Amino acid sequence: MRNPYRFLIVLLFAFIFSLKFQYANAQVNSVTIEGSSTFCWDGGPEVYTIHLNWETEPAPSVTSIVWSLDSYDGRPYFDEEQGLEYMIVNPSDTQSDFTITVTVTLSNGQVLTNSKEVTGDGVLSVNSITGSNIVYRGAQLNYYATPVPGSTGYIWSVPSGATISNGQNTNTILVNFSQTAVSGNISVSVQNKCGSGNPSKLFVTVNPQLTIGPISGNSNICAGTKGVVYSVPIVYGVTNYTWTVPYGAYIASGTGSNSITVNYNSSAVSGNISVSGGNAQPAYLPVTISTQTSAGIITGLNAVNPGANGITYSISSVTGASEYNWEVPNGATITSNSKSNNIVVNYSSTATSGIIKVTPISGCGGGVPSHKLVTVGDISTTGSLSINPINANNNYLMFKTNGTNLGIIGSGASINSGVSSNLGMAVYGNNNLEFSTNSTKRLIINGSGYIGIGTLNPNSKLEINHGTAGNSGLRFTQLNSMSPTTIGNGKFLSVNSTGDVILTDAGSLTSAWSFLGNAGTNPTINFIGTTDNKDLIIRTNNTEKVRVTSNGNVGIGTTSPATKLEVLSGLSNNEIARFGGTVSERGLILSSFVVGGTNEVGFNFNAPGAGGAAAISFSTLSTERMIINYDGKVGIGTTTANNKLEINHGTVGNSGLRFTQLNSSSTAVAGNGKFLSVNSTGDVILTDAGNSTSTWNIRGNTGTNPTNNFIGTTDNQDFVIRTNNYERIRVTSDGSIGIGTIPQHRLHVAGDVFFSTGENSETFVIQNGPSGYNALRYDGDNNLLLLQENAGNVGIGTTDTKGFKLAVAGRVIAEEVIIRLQPWPDFIFNSNHKLRSLSELEQFIKTNKHLPEIPTEKEAQEQGIGVGEMNAKLLQKIEELTLYIIDQNKRIEALENEVKNLNSK
């Protein structure tokens, strides 16, 4: 802004120079340029002045002042006023440094020169923001702004629902996107000494939280299967995938990726394949583990006549089998139930003998089959073999040889040869019956009836020679170490020194447990169990009932307990365990090993008492938490439930009921005008919204009392208003209001604000202080901006106005300033005003070192100067100078006339 009194200042200096004030013998130490050493190119103009440092008095007068800038193209322009003690430098579009120089010439001939280096600068801007523009709720991401040299800070803003957890005021920030985050701009502006530059923006689209899945892969697995692949689609933002597999399975490869290969051990059990990653919701795939099945013995006729129909064959149902594959002899057909464990077969007239075969099918494919040989009709040969016809009265097979021996196999036969019926096998004459395989005799029955297996000379009714010392050679397939036992009589079989089987008394043993109990045992070394890495199994009815694994887990009804005790009934509608008690006893108590500890849990089942009241209770930390009474009423937090479910939170006003997957963030459906409420006793009831006197109807309410009827919270929680399930307005618990953002001030709006009343009245008023003084007002009476304190004083950049109506801590630029003062110094021109003589003025200056009515240097430095008052005083001095000039001009004219008259004589 050009000084409006510049011509007056020029006039003042011209008058001072015309007076030619000279002071002999004065010395000047230096001249300095005062003004900012930094220059903002897109700011206001800078004013530079000089300061003369006088060493002695009287001081010489200044005859000229010359300002200059270093010369170069495109540098800022300036207003140069020769002979003035200030210079105005205006902004330029070119951002460069410059040097300002001043040369002062004094009346005594001294020339003083000084220069000032000025650093040019402007507001800065960020070129771009680097980071993801598509994010998901729950994500935590970095955003990066290109570093700007010369910056003093970076100011970031993020969309509503997102927060900056780290890096504010730097060029890299970490942003957390909450579950309520919405799409919007991430912006950053750069700060330096010239202010904040234009922001750079990156629009970010916020999507709902990621979900992993679905999992693809085989969900029906045969135990022992290797190399099963499971995978999920790649999810953006998830860098590591965490998988879990069922018990007995392990991940062979692919850990941490979106695709894994799983191996199943033979002991694997059914369970879930799950995968999670980052903040995404996990996915699950139930997997069913099957084992290979084996068919049992086929029951049904093994000999039939051609044309026989309706013959039934079956096997016992095989656990885990989904169907059964049957095969029948040529000429036979299955007429019904071809995939079940029970079939009906018709034999045609041309059917031939053959094998009936059945294979159970499970998740592991085909199991171990079972076979049955069926003879159809007569079988005969010429020579040494004949098979008699089969009929209802005689079922036998007779072998005839050319020698003297005859062998017969029969069942219920009546044979005329004199062989008794029900004969298994017979040999005629005093001959041995021998059985051989691979040209080696394996079994012999001699004429004395002794049977030898592995020996040709049996010495007992049955003699077995295994061939290896220490081995009996005797095996009972259906009676083994896994078979159940019966209560003994204290006796058992053993062998003597020659291998004869003898009966002995168990009481004579010192290393076995007697069925009738043992005495003198040492529990430290005497026990029932295994000494190697093998499980201990307890059976009844030859079926495993209890297993103690090598790692100490106990399973009842399961062969693979995964915990210290695992109980499975194996059948639907079966009790897993039953515990009984007397009238005065509890039927069941389960608790942790740390009574009163932080991990203590308890489960009590009370048997019916004298009044017949049985109850089940659950406790933690020695405190009963839930009870199921004898009448089916459930109490949580109370032991006296008066409804089917009664919950006592323990704190008045709290229900104690929470729905994890149904909360205030869940999507609502259109209502039917009815809702759940509670009555005076706390019972949950169904009520009509239109009849409610304690809720707000969506069609409005009548008869409300604004003193105690309101919308909001009664505890220390924020109040949120949403549309389209996105937060729009938040009223914090301390009363701050945010629109589109979480408020940091009493009213915080993220976006444009428009105020209009449509008439000439106050549109926008902010009051501060208990007396309601206006701190900021915008209205229609041309009061565009009004700032006030309680005392009516205004401070910009400072709170200490020092009693002035306006205090500004910093520079001020304006197009025009109007100052209204009373009085104005036109009294100088009044006829009755007495003007000092020049000699009086000279004497005053010599004595006081300043002009009359003008503050001293010290006063100006300590108290400042009033611009309006000083302008008036300067004008007063200019008016006085004008009178001096007029007076001097009159004297000059008089002298000129006198000289003219003298010259004319």
Partner residues linked to 362 by β-bridges = 365
Work out the burial of residue 122: count CB atoms within 10 Å of its CB; fewer than 13 is exposed, 13-18 middle, 19 or more buried.
buried
Task: Indicate the CATH number of 303-376 among 3.30.70, 2.60.40, 3.90.550, 1.10.3470.
Answer: 2.60.40
* pLDDT greater than 90 at residue 255: yes
pLDDT for 19: 39
Q: Determine the Cα–Cα distance for residues 635 and 643; give it in Å rounded to an integer.
A: 8
Identify the pLDDT of residue 230: 96
Query: Which two tokens mark 241?
Result: 């995938």
| pLDDT of amino acid 274 | 93
Instruction: For 493-514, give one letter per residue: b (16+ CB within 10 A) or e.
Output: eeeeeeeeeeeeebeeeeeeee
Residue 268 pLDDT > 80, yes or no? Answer: yes
Contact status, residue 350 vs residue 368, Cβ threshold 8 Å: no
Q: CB atoms < 10 A from the CB of 552, how many?
A: 8
Give per-residue pLDDT as tens, 725-771.
888 999 998 999 999 899 988 898 888 777 766 665 555 666 555 55
Of residues 663 and 330, the one with the higher pLDDT is: 330
User: To which H or E segment does residue 6 belong?
Assistant: helix 6-19
- Confidence (pLDDT) at 340: 92
Task: Name beta bridge partners: 605.
Answer: 588, 616
Residue-wise pLDDT tens digits, 850-878? 898 888 888 888 877 877 778 888 888 88
- The region, left, alpha or beta by phi > 0 then psi within -120 to 50, assigned to residue 300 is left
Q: Which of 286, 241, 302, 291 is nearest to 265 (CA)?
A: 291
Whether residue 81 has pLDDT greater than 80: no
For 1-122, CATH number out of 3.20.20.70, 3.30.470.20, 2.60.40.10, 2.40.50.140 equals 2.60.40.10
Share of the chain above pLDDT 90, in %: 18
pLDDT of residue 756: 67
Tell me how far apart the alpha carbons of residues 484 and 468 are, in angstroms, rounded to a whole number: 29
125: Cβ contacts below 8 Å, ≥ 6 apart: 148, 189, 190, 197, 198, 200
pLDDT for 506 beyond 90: no
Query: Could you report the per-residue pLDDT of 604-647, keeping only the tens digit for each?
Result: 666 554 444 667 888 787 788 888 887 889 989 898 888 889 89
| Phi, psi at 835, each rounded to 5° | -95, 135
Query: Mean pLDDT lowest for which of 184-188, 208-212, 755-759?
Result: 755-759
Peptide bond into 214 cis (omega under 30): yes
Average pLDDT over residues 237-251: 90
d(CA 651, CA 738): 32
The predicted-structure confidence for 773-799, as pLDDT tens digits, reads as follows 555 555 555 444 445 545 667 777 777
- Closest by CA to 58, choosing from 855, 849, 859, is 849
Residue type, 554: V
Residue bearing the bigger pLDDT, 762 or 46: 46
- Which of 129-138, 140-149, 699-708, 714-723 is predicted least confidently? 699-708
Sheet architecture: strand order including 162-166: 129-130, 140-145, 172-177, 162-166
Query: Are the C-beta atoms of 162 and 189 separated by less than 8 Å?
Result: no
Here the tokens at position 221 are 């697995």
Angle between helix 6-19 and 867-904 (nearest 10): 40
Q: Is the pLDDT of residue 352 over 80?
A: yes
The predicted-structure confidence for 278-307, as pLDDT tens digits, reads as follows 778 888 999 988 877 888 899 999 889 999
Most confident of 408-422, 568-582, 877-891: 877-891
**Who wins on pLDDT, 282 or 483?**
282
Q: 715: which 2 tokens? A: 């505890």
pLDDT at 201 over 80: yes
Which is more confident, 46 or 323?
323
- Out of 54-58, 319-323, 683-687, 702-706, the most confident range is 319-323
- 313-327, 485-499, 829-843, range with the lowest pLDDT: 485-499
Q: Give the pLDDT of residue 494.
A: 76
Please state which of the ranges 331-335, 387-391, 697-701 shows the lowest mean pLDDT: 387-391
CATH no. for 129-207 = 2.60.40.10
Q: Which of 21-25, 113-117, 185-189, 854-858 has the highest mean pLDDT?
A: 185-189
Task: Please enumerate, as own/partner, the contacts of 720-724 that have beta carbons within 8 Å and a separation of 24 or more.
Answer: none
- Helix then strand then coil, in percent of the chain rounded to 5, is 10, 35, 55
Per-residue pLDDT band for 231 (boundaries 50, 70, 90) equals: very high
- Output the pLDDT for position 682: 73
Task: Decide: 781 and 199 in contact? Cβ < 8 Å.
Answer: no
Q: Tokens for 367?
A: 């199991």
Say yes or no to pLDDT of 371 above 80: yes
Residues with Cβ < 8 Å from 726, sequence gap 6 or more?
A: 180, 182
Of 499, 448, 449, 491, the closest CA to residue 473 belongs to 499
Closest CA to 177 of 144, 209, 155, 200: 209
Rounded mean pLDDT of the chain?
A: 76
Asked whether residue 153 carries a pLDDT value surpassing 60, the answer given is yes
The C-alpha atoms of residue 403 and residue 384 are separated, in whole angstroms, by 10
Asked whether the beta carbons of 254 and 242 are under 8 A apart, the reply is: no
Residue 328, C-beta contacts closer than 8 angstroms, at least 6 positions apart: 334, 345, 354, 356
For residues 596 and 621, what is the distance between their CA atoms, to the nearest angstrom?
5
Segment 55-82 mean pLDDT = 59
Mean pLDDT for 40-52 is 72
> Cα torsion at 323, 327, 328, 331 (round to 10°)?
120
Three-state DSSP at 535 gives coil
What torsion, rounded to 10 degrees, do the Cα atoms 326, 327, 332, 338 define?
20
For residue 707, is pLDDT > 70? yes
Task: Compute the average pLDDT of residues 709-722.
Answer: 88
Element of type H or E holding 287: strand 280-290
Instruction: Choose the weakest-confidence range: 279-288, 358-367, 494-503.
Output: 494-503
Question: Is 47 within 8 Å of 35 (Cβ atoms)?
Answer: yes
Separation of alpha carbons 237 and 257, rounded Å: 13
Question: 181 near 206, Cβ under 8 Å?
Answer: yes
For residues 456-477, give the mean pLDDT.
Answer: 83
pLDDT at 495 over 80: no
Q: CATH number of 220-290: 2.60.40, 3.30.1660, 2.40.128, 1.10.150?
A: 2.60.40
Confidence of residue 20 (pLDDT cuts 50, 70, 90): very low
Separation of alpha carbons 61 and 24, rounded Å: 10
50-54, 258-262, 454-458: the lowest-pLDDT one: 50-54
pLDDT score of 762 = 56
Specify the higher pLDDT residue, 395 or 868.
868
Percent residues over pLDDT 70 in the chain: 73
pLDDT in tens, 120-148: 777 777 888 999 898 888 888 999 998 88
